[in-house]
A = this chain, B = another copy of it.
Amino acid sequence: MHKKGNLFVVSGPSGAGKGTIIREISKNDNDFKLSVSVTTRAPRNKEIEGVNYYFKTKEKFMDMIENDEFLEYAEVYDNFYGTPKKLVLEAVEKGETILLEIDIQGAIQVKKNYPEGIFIFILPPTMAELKNRIIERGSETDETLKKRMLSAFHEISYMEKYDYFIINDVLEDSIKSFKSIIKAEKCRVMANVKNLLKTYEEEL
């Protein structure tokens, strides 16, 4: 039977380790694909069209916004970045598992445009550890340290918009949890019930 795939959207405050988790997961398994963004910035050394990014002119990017072709987009330092809707949703329809690492504002946009996505929030083990990491980097005054901690907590408070959380203490455990979430979501009745019933009925 044909099973639908899924889009997994992954966020979390910086220092939580979401990049590491996603790298480890996509390294050892061909079942997962990283979402490739569209950008208006110029290609850098060795970057390949369609692998690292889809490179577009600003004019083309504006057209794509106009035509509602993004799951989300944002402007960062005069360049635009966006997640192409059609490519991602076609891959999911084909049965692929797509991973998208994105900040909270981006994730909220994706959720609006594609509520069927699975939203995972990566947390640091403790605020104390996050604090230690920031202090270890040095150059923070008491006041900026306080501000950074409040900002991290503000980010964490968006967790309720997400489906799953992973407390990234031991990396291996986090990867196991992440893989379990992906495997479990493949067993979801809702996305597959029509196909399943049809299959069993045809065999009757």
Contacting residues of chain A (7-32) with chain B, CB-CB under 8 angstroms: none
Query: Chain B residues with Cβ under 8 A from A203's Cβ?
Result: 126-128
One of A44-52, A86-94, A97-105, A157-165 contacting the partner: A157-165
A109 at the interface (CB under 8 A from B): no
User: Is B153 a contact partner of A200 (Cβ separation < 8 A)?
Assistant: yes
Interface size class of A (residues with CB under 8 A): 35 or more
For the complex, what is the distance from the CA of A177 to the CA of B120, rounded to whole Å?
A: 19
Q: Which residue of B lies closest to A124 (CB)?
A: B200
Tell me how many chains of this kind the complex includes.
2
A24 to B179, CA, bound (A): 21
The answer on a CB contact under 8 Å between B204 and A189 is no
The 0/1 profile, CB within 8 Å of B marked 1, for residues 186-204 of chain A is 1111101100110011011
Q: Are A204 and B153 in contact (CB under 8 A)?
A: yes
Residues of A within 8 A of B (CB): 1, 120-121, 123, 126-128, 149-150, 153, 156-157, 159-160, 162-167, 176-177, 179-181, 183-190, 192-193, 196-197, 200-201, 203-204
Given A153-B201, A156-B200, A177-B187; 5 other pairs, CB 8 A cutoff: A126-B203, A156-B197, A177-B183, A181-B183, A184-B184
